[in-house]
Amino acid sequence: MGNRILFVSTFYGRKLGGAEISLKLLFDGLNKTDQCTVSLVTSQLSTQDGFFSLNLEWIPKKAFLFGNYFIDKYASYRLAKIAREFQPHILHVQDLFLLPATVLLSQKIDIPVVVTVRDNLPREYKILGFNVLERRNHAYYKALMLSQKIIAISAHIKENLIRFGIPESKIKVIYNIPSHFPTIIPEASKDKKNFEIMSVGRFYYEKGFHVLIKAFQKISVKNSNVVLKLVGAGPEDKILKKLVKELGMEDRVIFCSWVNQEEIPEILAHADVIVIPSLYEEPLGRVALDSAMLGRAVVASSVGGLKEIIESGKSGILVKPNDPTELKNKIEYLMYNPEIREKMGATLKANVLKKFSSEKIISDTLNIYDAVLAR
């Protein structure tokens, strides 16, 4: 049986983003070993066997994002009931939002906390030029310092944490596990008429979809057989569709709603080039990992953890963020050079399989647990 590990996740539920997919892959991988038993508690309602719910779905998502001491105290109280039932040896927090509540509990019942950091710190949300998350950032800092070990999902996040004031000795880089796609994936038809450019993610401004749309408009002027497919959903949905309409490209840009993780390989398999046009420092890049596992060529912004996945010119192309002209040029380069495109996709897959080995990631995580419990 081994050690009992309780994953603590704020938003694990029906719609899985990159962080939740990474959590699930680690959860499944650890449970396949004989060294630990892992369960999960989420603030959302859970119908999955072996999962616990804090029954906090009535709390608005923004309340978790902003956070306050009263939510932390109540969440800690709810978490204590589950801890008494599951009797974990370690509380492994999977995002920042429930970290202060978990640390509050750990100090009462003397159970060590390991936390995986998947976000840049400090967090910012400005109103009239003032960052209203300053107090919450202090709570995160205090909780991180009281945690026994911190896992950073990239070297970028490790450097970010050190700048935030966390001692390097507390931090260990352990990457996310790449998705395990079926051996046989439906390939796009070889005689398809259109060259397909694709981008996947939540429709937020910082994801840079508007930059890709502007770059695509330049591409479409001289290429009638090219389409852009945007897969996702989010608050920028209407803004992006309005931009497409203003540029007169409604018949060339296809919007696809959010898809389940099981549908991702078939969706990505139809792409000729996958673009990640982020404007902010990506913590790592789930879409880049998924694209790699399918051998697809990637053009991505040279930001954050994406630089740890893609070696520009060899396993993909990195571009300056928020530059539609450069993005257009690099996409066209891969359009007109199919052999280079195919070689880059194959190199990316080989590199990811080596650098992001699921066996090593699981082993490193188990070693963290052993080291924490040996203290």
pLDDT of residue 47: 56
Alpha helices in 189-236 (DSSP H): 209-222
Residue 34 burial (10 A CB sphere; 0-12, 13-18, 19+)? exposed
Largest CA distance in the chain: 66
- Name which of 2, 4, 3, 9 is nearest 102 in CA terms: 9
Question: Do 277 and 290 meet the contact criterion of CB atoms below 8 Å apart?
Answer: no
The Cα-based distances of 375 to 7, 89, 132, 318, 364 in angstroms read 21, 13, 37, 43, 17
* Cα(70)–Cα(136) distance, integer angstroms: 12
Q: State the DSSP H helix or E strand holding residue 149, giving kind and residue range, or none if neither.
A: strand 149-152
Residue 184 burial (10 A CB sphere; 0-12, 13-18, 19+)? exposed
* Cα(318)–Cα(330) distance, integer angstroms: 9
* Cα(319)–Cα(299) distance, integer angstroms: 7
Rg (CA), the chain: 21
Residue 255 burial (10 A CB sphere; 0-12, 13-18, 19+)? middle
3-176+356-374 matches 195-355 in fold: yes
pLDDT of residue 272: 95
Q: Beta 130-131 vs 126-127: how paired, if at all?
A: antiparallel
CATH 3.40.50.2000 matches 195-355: yes
Q: Measured in Å, how far apart are the chain's first and last C-alpha atoms? A: 21
What are the domain boundaries of the chain?
3-176+356-374, 195-355
pLDDT of residue 48: 65
Three-state DSSP state, 126: strand
Residues ≥6 apart with Cβ < 8 Å to 271: 188, 196, 197, 198, 229, 291, 296
Residue linked to tokens 């007169």 = 248
- Name which of 163, 147, 181 is nearest 290 in CA terms: 181
Q: State the DSSP H helix or E strand holding residue 243, giving kind and residue range, or none if neither.
A: helix 237-246
pLDDT of residue 38: 95
Q: pLDDT tens per residue, the chain (375 residues)?
A: 689 999 999 988 766 778 888 999 999 999 999 999 999 999 876 656 668 999 888 888 888 888 889 999 999 999 999 999 999 999 999 999 999 999 999 999 999 999 999 999 999 888 888 888 999 999 999 999 999 999 999 999 999 999 999 999 999 999 999 998 765 555 554 557 889 999 999 999 999 999 999 999 999 998 999 999 999 999 999 999 999 999 999 999 999 987 777 788 888 888 999 999 999 999 999 999 999 999 999 999 999 999 999 999 999 999 999 999 999 999 999 999 999 999 999 999 999 999 999 999 999 999 999 999 998
54: tokens are 């804090």
Q: What is the DSSP string of 274-316?
A: EEE--SS--SS-HHHHHHHHTT-EEEEES-TTHHHH--BTTTB
Residue linked to tokens 């936390």 = 115
pTM over 0.95: no
* CATH superfamily name and code, 3-176+356-374: Glycogen Phosphorylase B; (3.40.50.2000)
